[in-house]
A and B are shown apart, each in its own frame.
Chain A
Amino acid sequence: MIDFVIPLADWVNAGFKVVSYHLSPILRSLSEILEVLIRLFESILLWPPEAVFMVLTGLIVWRLATPRLAVFAVIGFLAAFGMGVWAETMATIALALSGTAVSLLVGVPLGILASQNNVAERIIRPLLDFMQTLPSFVYLIPAVMFFGMGKVAALVATMIFAMPPAVRLTNLGIREVSREMVEAARAFGSNRWQTLMDVQLPLALPTIMAGVNQCIMMSLAMTVIASMIGAGGLGLVVLRSMQTLDIGMGAVGGISIVILAILLDRLTETISRKQKAGRDI
Chain B
Amino acid sequence: MNIIEVQNLYKIFGKKPKKALEMISQGYSKEDILADTGQTVGINNVSFTVKAGESFVVMGLSGSGKSTLIRCLNRLIEPTSGHVLIEGKDITNMDVEDLQEIRRKKVSMVFQSFAIFPHRTVLENAAYGLKVRGVSPKEREEKAFEALEMVGLKGWEHSLPSQLSGGMQQRVGLARALATEPEILLMDEAFSALDPLIRKEMQNELLELQERMRKSILFITHDLDEALRIGDRIALMKDGEIVQIGTPEEILMSPSTKYVQKFVEDVDRSRVLTAEMVMKKPTVVVYFPKDGPRVALRRMEEYSISSIFVIDRERHLKGLVMAEDALTAVENNKKDLDEILITDIPTALPDTSVKDMFSLLTGKSLPLAIINEERKLQGVVVRGSVMAKLAEGGMVND
Contact = CB atoms under 8 A, between A and B. Distances in A.
Given A180-B115, A203-B119, A280-B118, A188 B160 contact: no
B115 A183 contact: yes
A188 B162 contact: no
A199 B117 contact: yes
Contacts, number: 71
B197 interface: no
A68 interface: no
Nearest to A183: B76
Nearest to B169: A281
Interface string A184-223: 1111111100100011001100000000000000000000
30 contacts: A180-B113, A183-B111, A183-B115, A187-B186, A188-B103, A188-B109, A188-B129, A188-B176, A189-B101, A189-B103, A189-B132, A189-B133, A191-B96, A198-B117, A198-B128, A198-B131, A198-B132, A203-B117, A203-B118, A278-B160, A278-B162, A279-B118, A279-B119, A279-B160, A280-B118, A280-B162, A281-B118, A281-B161, A281-B162, A281-B169
Interface in B126-182: 128-129, 131-133, 160-162, 169, 176, 180
Contact of B103 (A178, A187, A280): A187
Interface residues on B, range: 20 to 34
A184 B74 CA distance: 12
Interface of B: 74, 76, 96, 100-105, 108-109, 111, 113, 115-119, 128-129, 131-133, 160-162, 169, 176, 180, 186
Nearest to B162: A281
A188 B126 CA distance: 11
A279 B108 CA distance: 25
Interface in A239-259: none
A272 B186 CA distance: 37
A202 B160 CA distance: 15
A177 to B, nearest CB: 10
Contacts of B169: 281
Given A187-B111, A188-B132, A279-B118, 14 more contacts: A178-B115, A183-B111, A186-B76, A187-B74, A188-B129, A189-B103, A189-B104, A189-B129, A189-B132, A190-B132, A191-B100, A203-B119, A278-B160, A278-B162
Interface in A118-174: none
A181 B160 contact: no
Contacts of B113: 178, 180
A257 B132 CA distance: 48
B119 A202 contact: yes
B128 A188 contact: yes
A252 B117 CA distance: 49
